Amino acid sequence: MTASAIRLTGVSRRFGRTTALDDVTAEVPAGVVCGLLGRNGAGKTTLMSILAGHDRPSAGTVEVLGSDPFEHADVMGSISLIRDNQRYPEDFKLKHVLRVVPRFHERWDAELAAELIDAFRLPSRTTVKKMSRGQQSGLGIVIGLASRAPLTVFDEPYLGLDATARRVFADRLLAARLDDAAARTIVLSTHLIDEMEQLLDHVVVLDGGRLVRTGTTEEVTAGAHSLSGAAAAVERVAAGRTPLSSHRVGGLLSLVFAGEAPAGLAEEAAAAGVQVAPVGLQELVAAFGAGDGAEVRAEREGAAA
Amino acid sequence: MSTTVARPASPVAVLALQYANPSRMVSIPLMILGAVVVVTTGIVVVLARSGADGELQSNGAIIWSLVGFIVAIGVQAVAVTFPLALALGTTRRAFTAGVLLTAVLESALLTGSALVLLGLEALTGGWFVGARVLGDATLGGGDARALVAVMFLASLSAILAGAAFGAAWVRFGARGPMVLGLAIAAGAVIALLALAPAFGAVGEAFEPWWLAVAAAVVIAASTAGTYLLLRRAAVR
């Protein structure tokens, strides 16, 4: 049986009248790369803050590496969370960061850090504050990967990275997963889902603060299908079913539905000239984020019934 | 498959974070100390040439020139480094302990430097012109033990008070330091109003060690306040 690195039960976080997270229950197994996916404002950063012990839920319980992370010295010492807008002391340069970080992460890999710094071409004379967006993302990746922290959390690590740097990150992430599979769980949020999908073992999809899907990447993508073709034909085949999203271009229509395609749909669709296809992770996440949440709630209630 | 936890981040790591770039914490305070010696000595020379009494017995130049910077060190020790310390896995408790360590080390650095300068001042006969910068009456009038007590406790109080204001900023944003400042000012006014009828008696009974007790209260209250403010502070 696989142990959970993260266990969330009914987690909510409210800021005044705004509900950033609403009753989220999910588990992430140890030793996986987990994608935290959803639109801007879905609650990803709030959830990461709670996972890292930077914030506390308004309701519900959080277990990370077996304990509530908030002010738990052993657990917090096992977590690295570099934010997309991470603040550093204004006068800090690369050398200051490298001088400090190993003191916080006992498993710091200086060789890997040096290799990544070269690969990302991080400047040594510029203060971190004056680094470009991509260079700051690169620095965050250096800290996160070289920390070898048992739970490493990346908040939008791809922001501003060029294609070469993104490839370096993907390669090193894969290597980290293989090298540290027994001891390391990596959670990352990203909007470049197509590019990351192959690296994600597990996903947690949020929309409007609510959990809409979680499970292995295969389980989640298997739980949806699409219909596409001439609009009239697609609407006829889809009659009576509520899609998660619809996308119309001219006379063509594409609908995404939750759940596996019902029996007989393939034959009916083929007869009508409509294509039934599996849905990629990016398309599914975009579908969940396309509506006002009503379809998601209806789908969730239907699934629970 | 199970995931093991790592060693927790220690207050010493937070201390290292504060001193990672030594210019702000070491070079600049020492330069300020040196500059005060130079400027005060220059003023003494000017006063002597103008025929005025050149002995500035209690100008308090060291205290007044350093206090603002020292408070700012305290503010920065929390406001600037807290988000990074948390990102690297530090608890608020370890962070507060690290800030306390930083304040003690910085105060020791300032006190040690002041002590060395006092020795030089004595050796050079007041920087060759009879100036009394470190031998100022507010610093003990040349008594090394008094200078150590005043410099150390004043520095520690100022850094930790600054840290509490930094924590108020982290916890409540711009409103935090403003409300904290107003609350302290209101408390001081109320205390002064209550003590006003007894000012004469208090003045007559005053002992220098009362200042040490006051500093201890400021140090304890500021450290506790910093922790309590950070305890509820979220990094977003």
- CA–CA gap between residue A253 and residue A266 (Å, rounded): 17
| B90 reaches A (C-beta below 8 A) | yes
Q: What mean pLDDT is reported for chain B?
A: 89
* Per-residue pLDDT band at B49 (split at 50, 70, 90): confident
Does some domain include residue B201? Answer: no
Q: How many domains does chain B have?
A: 1
ipTM entry: 0.84
Query: A-contacting residues of B 19-38, CB under 8 Å?
Result: 20-21, 23-24
| A83 reaches B (C-beta below 8 A) | yes
CATH 3.40.50.300 domain position(s) in chain A? 4-219
Q: Does residue A299 register a pLDDT over 60?
A: no
Domain with B90, as residue range(s), is 11-172+206-231
Does some domain include residue B20? Answer: yes
A234-278 confidence digits (pLDDT tens): 999 988 888 888 889 988 999 999 888 888 888 999 999 999 998
| B91 reaches A (C-beta below 8 A) | yes
| CATH 3.30.1360.200, domain A4-219, yes or no | no
- Among A99, A101, A151, select the one facing B88 at the smallest CB separation: A101
Instruction: Look up residue A59 and give its DSSP letter.
Output: E
Give bridge partners of residue A258 from the DSSP assignment: A224
Residues of A in contact with B1 (CB under 8 A): 2-3, 29-31, 181-182
Q: Does residue A297 register a pLDDT over 90?
A: no
Does some domain include residue B44? Answer: yes
- CA–CA gap between residue B194 and residue A103 (Å, rounded): 50
Does some domain include residue B157? Answer: yes
B102-151 confidence digits (pLDDT tens): 999 999 999 999 999 999 999 998 888 888 888 888 888 889 999 999 99
Does some domain include residue B218? Answer: yes
Does some domain include residue B143? Answer: yes
